[in-house]
Amino acid sequence: MKKFINIFMLLLCVCIVSCDDSNDNDAGLEIVKRDATATAAGGDLTVTLSAEGDKAVSDQTWCTVSLSGAVVKATLEANTNLEGRTALITVIKGANSLSFPITQPGNLIPAAEDNNIAFDAHGGTQRIHVSNSLPFTATPANSWLSAQVDGNTLVLTAQTNYTNNNLTTKVKLVSGSLESEITVTQSGIQLIPEKTTQVMYYTGDEVNIKVNSTLPFTAESDEDWLTVAYDESSLTLTATDNSGQPNRTATVTLTSETLTATIAVTQRLPVYTDYLGSWTLAGMNNGAQFTYDLTIEQATANSTYNLAGWGKSVLGASAEYAIRANFDVTSGLIYITAQEDIAVYIDTDDIPYNVMFYGQIEMGGSVYYVGGSGYICYIGMLQRDGSVQWMNGLVTLQGGAQYEVVGGKYYIESQEDGSMLSFNADTPFMREPVMTKVGTSARTRSFMQVGKGMTIETSKLHAR
């Protein structure tokens, strides 16, 4: 708005030097040349007449005139006010005279091109253009900011802010009786690591953490087993192997000038809660990858889980038929055992089936499921990258022969005739799959109906 007013006044008050044919202009005086360079800063301007006069007078004290032959010289004082002003000049020759006005524009309110100037904590110098007519002064309200004037340019210099406080000050611009004000802010220094807690893998680990720091920082660990390397924007934590030992902790302290920040580091085995959430389980079948969407929820805290999604049949896709997974506090392992009587499934013909989850073995070129419960089908361990590597379990059959469990899936046993069935949708089975966490909420699964998808397993072996 100030800029608009200044421009308007400048246009309104542009210097006008004109001739007013007075009533007494019988002497033949006329203006033949005029100098229209009057500004708010004042100064000299001349008007040349057609003939010599005897004397020249002004009706305003801020405009003095002198006459030399046919040339009138007007000297204007600086106009420090916003409004323009006019002086009437009269040239006398004998009994006759010629009068004409000289108009001087008013001053401009000094207007910075930006009324809000921001510095970061480093400080520095900024140059800001100022629209003005007369020279202006600039005075900051606080000592952390200095101001200089270079013609129509305001030069601001901020010192480095070594605190974490954001600073604000005003700079007053004064030109004559007119003034304006701008606001200058400066941010404080920052020292913010992207993490304030970090879990390190128990067999040894290395982690990179980004750091948002305005100024250079240092970082150090309070424990020898954890070393720290850092540059201007990150730090790297390296933990030694702690296998077979109790969990341990360390604190990393970052320092930048007056600021400090800490990162609490724990090196430990996987804990119960690490396995909760939604996961993608990926395995291979004859070179082709296939996946299951899993949801692992708490059953008994720090002991067991409900695991849904191990398969793509109606059983695998529904939490109603979730299998039980176990957590071993001592080793940090998760494992799935063979399970019987998980639930009762009613097919589309209203036939009831008992739901089981059995492991499978390879023997003599064929695949068999192994009945019974309690033997381990899969054992999982949380890896350094946050994934879970599943390994297949071992089962000892009646007679003492031991076999690797090559997979595991759902089976249903008819309550009417004892026949054992499984679902084509759950084939192929998973062998040494990898589980990757995808979030905390379960994914939507499509439910598959029982029908022609069932196959009959004719061979059943029993675990010892």
pLDDT 10s digits, 364-388: 888 899 999 999 999 999 998 899 9
> What Å distances lie between residue 79 and 7, 57, 404, CA to CA?
16, 20, 101
pLDDT of residue 351: 92
Residue 308 predicted with pLDDT over 60 = yes
Residue 28 predicted with pLDDT over 90 = no
CATH number of 191-267: 2.60.40.10
pLDDT of residue 440: 38
How far is residue 405's CA from residue 424's CA, in Å, rounded to a whole number? 19
Residue 309 predicted with pLDDT over 50 = yes
Q: How far apart are the first and last CA of the chain?
A: 92
Cβ(187)–Cβ(164) under 8 Å?
A: no
**DSSP classification of residue 17:** B
Residue 293, beta-bridge partner list: 280
How far is residue 292's CA from residue 275's CA, in Å, rounded to a whole number? 16
The SS3 call for residue 216 is: coil
pLDDT of residue 13: 39
List the single range of 84-93, 138-147, 444-453 with lowest mean pLDDT.
444-453
pLDDT band at 35 (very low <50, low <70, confident <90, very high): confident
Put the strands of the sheet holding 85-93 in their side by side order: 55-58, 85-93, 96-104
How far is residue 175's CA from residue 285's CA, in Å, rounded to a whole number? 84
Pick from 380, 346, 364: nearest CA to 270: 380
CATH number of 111-186: 2.60.40.10
Cβ(353)–Cβ(412) under 8 Å?
A: yes
CA angle 25, 72, 132 (to 5 degrees): 120
How far is residue 144's CA from residue 166's CA, in Å, rounded to a whole number? 12
> What Å distances lie between residue 260 and 220, 229, 252, CA to CA?
11, 17, 10
Residue 19 predicted with pLDDT over 70 = no
pLDDT of residue 288: 74
**DSSP classification of residue 189:** P
pLDDT of residue 446: 27
How far is residue 160's CA from residue 146's CA, in Å, rounded to a whole number? 12
Q: Does residue 14 or residue 208 have the better pLDDT?
A: 208
Q: What is the DSSP string of 366-383?
A: EEEEEESSSSEEEEEEE-
CA angle 127, 133, 137 (to 5 degrees): 50
Mean pLDDT of 194-200: 96
Q: Is beta strand 344-346 parallel, antiparallel or unpaired with respect to 333-337?
A: unpaired
CATH number of 2-104: 2.60.40.10
Residue 225 predicted with pLDDT over 50 = yes
CA angle 353, 355, 357 (to 5 degrees): 150
Mean pLDDT of 58-84: 93
Alpha helix ranges (H) inside 92-187: none
How far is residue 336's CA from residue 409's CA, in Å, rounded to a whole number? 11
Q: Domain segments of the chain: what residues? A: 2-104, 111-186, 191-267, 272-462
pLDDT of residue 455: 32
- Number of CB atoms found within 10 A of residue 51's CB: 14
Residue 344 predicted with pLDDT over 50 = yes
Q: What is the pLDDT of residues 256-301, one digit of tens each?
A: 988 999 999 999 999 999 999 999 999 876 677 888 999 999 999 9
The tokens of 401 are what? 């022969």
**DSSP classification of residue 463:** B
pLDDT of residue 112: 95
Residue 462 predicted with pLDDT over 60 = no
Pick from 181, 183, 157, 150: nearest CA to 169: 183
CA 440 to chain centre: 22
Pick from 246, 255, 250: nearest CA to 238: 250
Q: What is the pLDDT of residues 402-449, one digit of tens each?
A: 999 988 999 999 999 999 999 988 876 677 899 999 863 333 322 222
Mean pLDDT of 61-70: 94
Residue 453 predicted with pLDDT over 50 = no
Q: What is the DSSP string of 443-454?
A: PP------STTE
Percent of the chain with pLDDT over 90: 70
Residue 55, beta-bridge partner list: 92
Q: What is the pLDDT of residues 122-136, one digit of tens each?
A: 999 999 999 988 899
Average pLDDT of the chain, as a whole number: 87
How far is residue 87's CA from residue 94's CA, in Å, rounded to a whole number? 22
How far is residue 355's CA from residue 411's CA, in Å, rounded to a whole number? 6
Q: What is the DSSP string of 87-115?
A: EEEEEEETTEEEEEEEEEPPP---EES-S
* 2-104 and 111-186, same CATH topology: yes
CB hemisphere CA count around 217 (13 angstroms):
30
Burial of 96 (0-12, 13-18, 19+ CB in 10 A): middle
Which residues are CB-contacts of 335 (< 8 A; sequence separation ≥ 6)? 325, 326, 328, 376, 378, 379, 380, 393
Pick from 76, 71, 130: nearest CA to 105: 76
